[in-house]
Amino acid sequence: MDKQPIGVFDSGYGGLTVLKEITDKLPQYDYIYLGDNARAPYGPRSFDTVYAYTLQCVRWFFEQGCPLVILACNTASAKALRSIQQNDLPVIDPTKRVLGVIRPTTEIIGQLSHSGQVGILATSGTILSNSYPIEIEKFYPGLQVFQQACPMWVPLIENNEFNEPGADYYVKKYINELLAQSPNIDTILLACTHYPLMLEKIREFTPAGIRIIPQGEIVANSLSNYLDHHPEIADKCSKHGKHSFFTTDSTTDFDNHASLFFGKAVKSTHLSL
């Protein structure tokens, strides 16, 4: 059987924080990463647009032979995953799998909070989709969920301005707006794959005692578990420890930014969709 890499998708660079954790946890597999940088950010775009863009990218992964695609983007997971799983996969190829980042996170978030109140920081698209409260309710019906959109954070990160003093205003603003919703929030989920880059800054402006949770490791553990329990999919995934990177925008920009997210130098190939 022809084994092929696992596909990892994001609107831009953010999914690289997830890929980093996945490759640390599962270094034996091959991965193809696609950042749709030419059309990023997805956060402010409509449901229909995010769905159309994401489906187009998922089809491309399938054309490369990927048996499994991870949507390492909350916005795409929130707005496109369900339709792709329910409506498109059965038609395109029912043997393929597409997984997102919301479910693995909502499965465990309730175990992390002692106060029973969690905060979600994400793009406007993810917050407006209400995906987190809906999914969390399924696993932890008593858990109270407070949400805050952070529309300025992805642009600050994508423009490499997040460590500048000007970024502090927006970091403080959104954290304070979230915490103003309840004094008992004890766990904050970074529900955008870009945000781990600002982890130190977010910690700086968050009261001590509040736990801040990035998603990468949670998603990596969940994928490992999934592959253990689905040998029929795991057996289709190639294992040479190879990584390849594609971007729909400039490869020079991608390579310059990507190492910040991935922690290693990256050499990408341009893809016209």
Residue 178 Rama label (left phi>0; alpha psi -120 to 50; beta): alpha
Stretch that binds ligand DGL, among 7-15, 59-67, 113-121, 251-259 (CB under 6 A): 7-15
Stretch that binds ligand DGL, among 41-49, 80-88, 103-111, 169-177 (CB under 6 A): 41-49
Distance CA 61, CA 68 (A): 9
What is the distance of C-alpha 271 from the center of its chain? 21
Q: Please, which residue, 194 or 201, has the CB nearer to ligand DGL?
A: 194
Shortest spacing between CB 74 and ligand DGL, in angstroms: 4
Shortest spacing between CB 10 and ligand DGL, in angstroms: 5
Work out which of 105, 126, 147, 248 binds ligand DGL, going by CB under 6 A: 126
Q: Does 12 bind ligand DGL (CB under 6 A)?
A: yes
Q: Does 73 qualify as catalytic in the annotation? A: yes
Distance CA 270, CA 108 (A): 37
Of 44-73, binders to ligand DGL (CB under 6 A) are 73
Work out which of 42, 170, 246, 261 binds ligand DGL, going by CB under 6 A: 42
What letter represents residue 24's amino acid? D
CB 18 within 8 A of CB 252: no
CB 93 within 8 A of CB 62: yes
Binding pattern for the stretch 136-175 against ligand DGL, x by CB under 6 A and - elsewhere: ------------------x---------------------
Work out which of 37, 54, 74, 206 binds ligand DGL, going by CB under 6 A: 74
Q: Does 43 bind ligand DGL (CB under 6 A)?
A: yes
CA dist 205 → 70, 172, 173, 176, 179 (Å): 31, 6, 9, 9, 11
Work out which of 4, 5, 7, 14 binds ligand DGL, going by CB under 6 A: 14
Contact partners, residue 30, CB within 8 Å, separation at least 6: 4, 5, 6, 237, 238, 239, 240, 241, 242, 243
**Residue 144 backbone dihedrals phi, psi, to 5 degrees:** -90, 130
Q: Does 105 bind ligand DGL (CB under 6 A)?
A: no
User: Applying CB under 6 A, which residues contact ligand DGL?
Assistant: 10-12, 14, 40-43, 73-75, 123, 126, 154, 192-194
